[in-house]
Amino acid sequence: MKLPILLLLIILQSSAKQVFAQKQIAITIDDLPTVSRIMNTDALRAELTDQLLSHLKQYQVQATGYVIGEKLVKDGKVIPAQYGLLRKWLKAGHSLGNHTFGHLGINDISAGAYEADVLGADTLLRRFLHREGAELKYFRHPYLHRGNTAAKRDSLEMILAKHKYIQAPVTVDNDEYLFAAAFDKAIGSRNEPLADSISKTYVNYMMDYVHYYESQADSLFDRPIPHILLIHANLLNSKALGLFLSRLKEDGYQFVTLQKALEDPCYLTEDQYIGKKGISWIHRWAITKGKKGAFFKGEPEVPKFISDLTQ
């Protein structure tokens, strides 16, 4: 009887490894409805949104977008066109979350002011989503800040628990915003060759970052984990997201929802990081586990020509 039982255990262990071997990633998109200095009319913002949604549809991605409340109002009145963009996301099957009203980081304000900023967006979003048959449950921290003191970290936890929010972590963090600024500059100056170069460099950079965090997660957990990617609703992604998703798929990634990713027990890992920087949860967990400098080596760098364009 011992041999069959041993054989069964081996089969079960092998099956578990095969399940974990499937690379998965959830796509999350911040700063909705849109964030771009040059896509600054209702028509242009709608065009940007449609292009983003087209890329997501092509690769059958169900994303979660995080909305900044102040983008929905002007002079105390709601902006119908901005809500119209959010409806596009909902009708395409995506979910929406709270990214605060004014995109204020908790490191820079009091806990009371932070709660007010959370509720400012909540007021604008919750009723709207209910009318659209959706719910508001996810929260994304501006700048990925979770507190530069223990008191602020604990206050943040209490605020979000009080208002029944699920915190949306990020494992694949990056400096995509620098590429976005450079891309806007190239498009604004009608330099199509430069814009094309920025777009291609961006996708390569993002794949390098995916592989960087993939390797670190494998080291921390001794298996692949479902990653959570952070990007923004900008002009760059309206052009380049399709290529990026294609590269991820070629690399063996399956696109999953945020809800599915969060079912993995890795997201219950303790996070005791306290600091000024907003960093990946991979690094938060690593710091909590006592990892030192060598663990963090190899992080991709933004090319100099991109940095120069943002000056």
Cβ atoms of 156 and 114 within 8 Å: the answer is yes
Does the structure show a pLDDT above 60 at 10?
A: no
Q: How wide is the angle at C-alpha 122 spanned by C-alphas 69 and 278, nearest 5°?
A: 65
How far is residue 239's CA from residue 204's CA, in Å, rounded to a whole number? 14
Confidence of residue 21 (pLDDT cuts 50, 70, 90): low
Place of tokens 């991820």: 248
Write the CATH number for 115. Answer: 3.20.20.370
Whether 20 is in a domain gets the answer no
Whether 192 is in a domain gets the answer yes
Extract the tokens encoding 176: 């995509």
Does the structure show a pLDDT above 50 at 13?
A: no
Whether 122 is in a domain gets the answer yes
Give pLDDT tens digits for 82-107: 999 999 999 999 999 999 999 999 99
SS3 37: coil
Whether 19 is in a domain gets the answer no
Q: State pTM to two decimals.
A: 0.93
**Which pLDDT does position 2 carry in this prediction?**
46
Give pLDDT tens digits for 169-220: 999 999 999 999 999 999 999 999 999 999 999 999 999 999 999 999 999 9
Whether 135 is in a domain gets the answer yes
**Which pLDDT does position 12 carry in this prediction?**
42
Q: What average pLDDT does the segment 137-149 reach?
A: 99
Measure CA 211 to chain center.
16
How many separate domains does the chain show? 1
Residues with Cβ < 8 Å from 13, sequence gap 6 or more?
none
Place of tokens 């994304």: 140
Q: What average pLDDT does the segment 129-137 reach?
A: 98
Residue 184, domain extent: 25-309
Q: How wide is the angle at C-alpha 174 spanned by C-alphas 168 and 178, nearest 5°?
A: 125
SS3 174: coil
Whether 250 is in a domain gets the answer yes
Whether 99 is in a domain gets the answer yes
Confidence of residue 224 (pLDDT cuts 50, 70, 90): very high
Confidence of residue 167 (pLDDT cuts 50, 70, 90): very high
**Which pLDDT does position 310 carry in this prediction?**
96
Whether 14 is in a domain gets the answer no
CA-based nearest residue to 91, from 53, 137, 121, 123: 53
